Amino acid sequence: MLFDTPIYLLFLALIVAVYWRLNLRRQNILLLLASYFFYGWWDWRFLLLMIGSTIVDFLIAREIEGASDQGKRKILLITSLVLNFAILGFFKYFNFFLDSTVTALDALGIHGVPRNLLAVILPPGISFYTFQEVAYIVDVSAGRIRASRDFVEYGLFISLFPHLIAGPIQRPSHLLPQVQTRRVFNPSTFRDGCMLILMGFVRKAVIADNCAHLANAAFSGALGNDGWATCIGIYAFAWQIYGDFSGYSDIARGSAQLLGFHFMVNFRQPYLACSLQEFWRRWHISLSTWLRDYLYIPLGGSRGGPVKTYRNLLITMLLGGLWHGANWTFVVWGAVHGCVLSIERWISGSRLHVAQSTAVRRFAGRILTFHIVCFSWIFFRAENVSSAFNMLKTLGHFQWSPDYAAAWLFVITLSGLAMMMDLEMEWSGGEYVFQNRMPVLRYSAALIAIALVTLFSASGNHAFIYFRF
């Protein structure tokens, strides 16, 4: 059930209509059943897997909290982590190792291995709900939160349908208390939820899906094989993935607000960042803060000197890259970000660092950071490392074609729309366009958004990119 389809909007409307007529306990039961229906819509077998892992972690967390012996608590924690990451690793990386094995066997002269029969299907959202389960177990073990005594509450925390498939990744200390506390209908919050959904549709259906046509043509070679085609593909994909994922997050957050929940902001105008470090404070915030708190800091963070700091940054970004998928392209993408973050950290601690910030330096920093991010997207989008490097090689050869003029106009128009939305939000501090402006501007923005989605939604089926992760 995709967010940008009529069936989801009908599903959401029916749930909201019934939901606010119930008491807290019945609200939670309704949402848990609705969330399981939403997930089972994809494949009921994956639903059984998610329910099974939810039950296991629910029981282990209660055992951890009730255990007085630290050794037993540690064994229970390790058991949960091993089970969670083993399940995630099997479904996410089995095909990667299968492909590598088939390739090795081919090289040895052993052919005909039935790869298609052995391959496994990746359950939707498994990375996201696994990370939530891990965060919950770790926080209970550390004493930061109490273990839930009610399976309906814990199950809803894991499976609440707006965040279930592609986040934002919810922290136990943020979402679980909301599940356990009575929600009160607030017209202002409900209005903001509707506006977030509308703006999410603009980013996804208008900006991302239209950019997808150009990005697909460029990365497949259909657009051309020179530097112009590569640049068009790079910029088109940069705005596609941003519009796609930020649009999904807006729809998820808006859907949650219609039900009285508040999800953390997942994007804060990342392409306005002046450094890669700032970019990661603005991009996929729920993942970057999870990696910081549950991986980078436990590794030692910035303690232990510069060399260990660089090591921890590189490990964190490499594993962050692998989280996105079992492909060497994601490893390279994570390595690029890890290396640049380390270089930035080295510069900030050296004599090369200039403390005074000016408008010119910030503008230059934004341009440089944007292009580092854009060119690293090549590895994120390419089918394999070889294809990525072949695209980079084309940047040494530019041959203009009249077809490129229309493509550039397309990219500039769509990216310009996205940038105008971001600049307004950056200046006003709103979570959507004109949130903190006069009502007439806010409602005008709603009407414009409806018109844009109605008139300029891209044709074709473009599933949300992060459904693959």
Residue 17 CA to residue 407 CA, distance in Å, equals 44
The two three-digit tokens of residue 102, written as one number: 């088939």
**Alpha carbon 309 to chain centroid, angstroms:** 25
Active-site hit among 163, 213, 284, 324? 324
Q: Cβ atoms within 10 A of the Cβ of 457, count?
A: 16
* Burial status of residue 42 (CB atoms within 10 A of its CB: 0-12, 13-18, 19 or more): middle
Largest CA distance in the chain: 73
Dist CA 469 CA 465 (whole Å): 8
DSSP state of 268: S
- 316 and 338 in contact (C-beta within 8 Å)? yes
In DSSP notation, 392-452 reads HHGGG-----HHHHHHHHHHHHHHHHHHHHHHHHHHH--SSTTTTS-HHHHHHHHHHHHHH
Query: CA dist 186 to 27, 194, 422, Å?
Result: 16, 13, 27
Return the exposure string of 306-321: e unless at least 16 CB atoms fall within 10 Å of the residue's CB, then b.
eeebbbbbbbbbbbbb
Residue 397 main-chain phi, psi, to 5 deg: -140, 115
Q: How many helices (H) and strands (E) does the chain have?
A: 21, 0
324 given a catalytic annotation: yes
The catalytic residues are: 324
